[in-house]
Structure 1
Amino acid sequence: MKELAMTDQGDPLARIADALERLAPPAAPTDWTAFPAYVWDRHGGRGIDRLDAPPLPLLRGIDRQKELVTGNITRLACGYAAHDMLLWGARGMGKSALIRGAVLAAQAARPGSIALVQADTEALAALSALFADLARQERSFLVFIDDLGFEEQDTLSPRHLRSWLQGGVEARPANIRLAVTSNRRAIVARDASEQNDPLNPRDVVDDRLALADRFGLSIGFHNCDQPAYLAIIAGYAEEFGLEWEEAEALEWARRRGARSGRTAWQYITELAGRAGKAL
């Protein structure tokens, strides 16, 4: 009988876990006015003391993209109408760096007017909770989702995001806009059989672009050519007082199989290390 009574009490480890969860203090509310940037996941928001971004003049080879992004973020910081943004295309061409740099520039021009909130892709279903918090603030927010992609079997996350971009019953607060980076314009993955469906090819294309078309600004980034790559390196080298050689810079890119802003920065890091300098 004694053994039976102990069994009826359930799993001891589960009871201990439940007790600890009840004893744990609730998470402190996030102060959405205190920091220039935040990280937000399913556990809540966490302030970041310093927003790290390269100065906008150092982001070369993407002049048109820079103009569109900075202009849109400036409008948001001023409280004017602004677009949701999809930055898509080649890896390493400064999509996320441009977002951070443009927010930093807007903060310098209008202190306290705007904050960047980087949202975890695993928490898309809970965007409504984030938006509810941010809507009560006297401040603008750019919610940033970096390198977005969905698993083939994930159908809920794209729907949540589409609903918030346009078409949902609950209106999105005017002080919040979304910025998303992705390697492809058609963010939602499809398997090969659907892409090659001979019965409804138009439906397949429309479905693939259903999410992308909800962004007011869809901005493409492309692999840079050799002159642009060298110009990026020249700009960084001048900024940090580094000596460099064109032939070595080109060889650096060849060994990595790509010319991009990221490759250029890696070369600059190598030069700074050799010279005993910090970046």
Structure 2
Amino acid sequence: MSQRPHIKELLICRSLLSDPACQALADVLSGQEEKAGTCAALLIETAEEVGLSGNLLRSYLLYRLVHDANLAAQTTEVSRGPIGESLHQAFVQDIALLLPFLTQPASDFLGLELLDDYQPTTPLATEAFTALQDFLAGAETAEDYAEGLLTYYSRYGYGDIASYKAFRWDEKNQVLVGIRHFEAMQMDDIIGYAHQKEQLIDNTEAFVQCKPANNVLLVGARGTGKSSAVKALANVYYQRGLRLLQLTKPQLQNLPAIMENLRYFASKRFIIFLDDLSFEEAEAEYKYLKSAIEGGVESRPENVLIYATSNRRHLIREHWRDRAEGQDEVYRDDSINETISLSDRFGLIIQYYAPDQKEYLAIIDHRLRKAGIELSPEELRIAGTRWEMTHSGRSGRTAQQFVAHYLGQLDGSNN
């Protein structure tokens, strides 16, 4: 090349300048050819770690551009719309500086043909990164690449918030952490409970459309798919900006900080998921939840709802002594009101009941067919009923346990 790109002139994407691989690349471009091996080694290491493939220099830079914070991505996230004209122009200018690395073989810069079409052990196949490739299909100019990236930022965000469907809360660092191995079910895999699923989907659909929607309490028999239904929403609405944040009961005291953190991601909608929730009367965490639902002094962010599952209709355990006629009337009423007040703060309460035998067997049949196994109605009835009688009754969980046992025995007989 007669003239090398000067990536140190980046304005909006300056986070690249602190990246070790990009620093090594800058050294190569400035004449330190011996740094080419360092840069190549870092590219390959990242490729194997996250699954980058093809032109490795191009893939690496795109990966950094959608995972590291830059002003264009941050502004898109906060404004929930197009960035300003001047910022847009500066972003295109940065992409113009990077364009040679995005359009030319990596070997042109680093002298190693292996990098021109690298195939990692496990290729990256997230929905977000696949979408990025679609947005950039046919891109040739800096404007093309800038528009593709800005479309990605608008649709998915950047960093972990773009790559992951579900998150946990890191209390030490006060940040969201993506759950890499989040295996949410598809809604179609939850057999039965059509009305309950319809209620849940209708409420969530309104939420992702930025319409009024309620906090939800899913309550009822154990093993009926309450948690699976909430997790399935992360699959259904991921491309429309919905993310799931699962909290434990002790983390409820961090709700103010969590809410403030989620408020920043204005283009995303968050469901805070509290699974198998219940409280003893002496536990104070429920007060944090009550305050979060009602907003307290600071209003709850409009992009956050709380979905909880429980086996109890009243989330705070109530004792018979609280209703005893012999105690003071005012105290008794206050005690009762306190125990039911938390549940009442959920605008939508969805009731789940244990499946009947037909529904129970349908769940087993569905899961076995997904595994390529088809039993006759009589075989299904005998095997499913026998399992139910020796376990904890009919439920979706019991059906799933039977299927795991059946497939495990089948595999064993074929060895």
Residues 260-279 of structure 1 correspond to what in structure 2 (within 5 A)?
260-276=395-411
Q: Which residue of 2 aligns with 1:150?
A: 279
Query: What is the CA distance between 1:204 and its match in structure 2?
Result: 3.9
Matched, 1:216 2:347: yes
Partner residue of 1:234 out of 345, 360, 365: 365
Q: How many residues align?
A: 246
- Deviation string, structure 1 residues 42-100 (Cα, Å, up to 9, x no partner): 33432113431222122122111111112222222232222110111110000100001
1:205 alignment partner AA: I
Cα distance in structure 2, aligned partners of 1:47 and 1:167? 26
TM-score between both structures, scaled by the size of structure 1? 0.81
Cα distance in structure 2, aligned partners of 1:197 and 1:87? 32
1:153 alignment partner AA: A
Q: Which residue of 1 aligns with 2:205?
A: 74
Cα distance in structure 2, aligned partners of 1:75 and 1:67? 12
Q: Which residue of 2 aligns with 1:135?
A: 263
1:145 alignment partner AA: L
Query: What is the CA distance between 1:31 and its match in structure 2?
Result: 4.4
- Deviation string, structure 1 residues 151-194 (Cα, Å, up to 9, x no partner): 3321x211111111125221000000000111101001234422
Partner residue of 1:88 out of 219, 237, 250: 219
- Deviation string, structure 1 residues 172-229 (Cα, Å, up to 9, x no partner): 0000000011110100123442243544354443222100011111111111111111
2:215 alignment partner AA: D
- Consecutive unaligned residues of structure 1, counting only runs of 5 or more, are 1-28
Partner residue of 1:62 out of 193, 196, 202: 193
Partner residue of 1:177 out of 278, 302, 305: 305
CA RMSD of aligned residues (A): 2.2
Cα distance in structure 2, aligned partners of 1:172 and 1:197? 39
Q: Which residue of 2 aligns with 1:8?
A: none
Is the 1:33–1:112 contact (alpha carbons within 8 Å) kept by the matching residues of 2?
no
Cα distance in structure 2, aligned partners of 1:112 and 1:60? 25
Change (3 A) 1:119 1:82: same
Is the 1:96–1:146 contact (alpha carbons within 8 Å) kept by the matching residues of 2?
yes
Q: Which residue of 2 aligns with 1:49?
A: 180
Higher radius of gyration, 1 or 2:
2
2:344 alignment partner AA: D
Cα distance in structure 2, aligned partners of 1:149 and 1:123? 14
TM-score between both structures, scaled by the size of structure 2? 0.56
Give the structure with the higher percent strand: 1
Is the 2:365–2:374 contact (alpha carbons within 8 Å) kept by the matching residues of 1?
no
Is the 1:89–1:221 contact (alpha carbons within 8 Å) kept by the matching residues of 2?
yes
Is the 1:51–1:104 contact (alpha carbons within 8 Å) kept by the matching residues of 2?
no
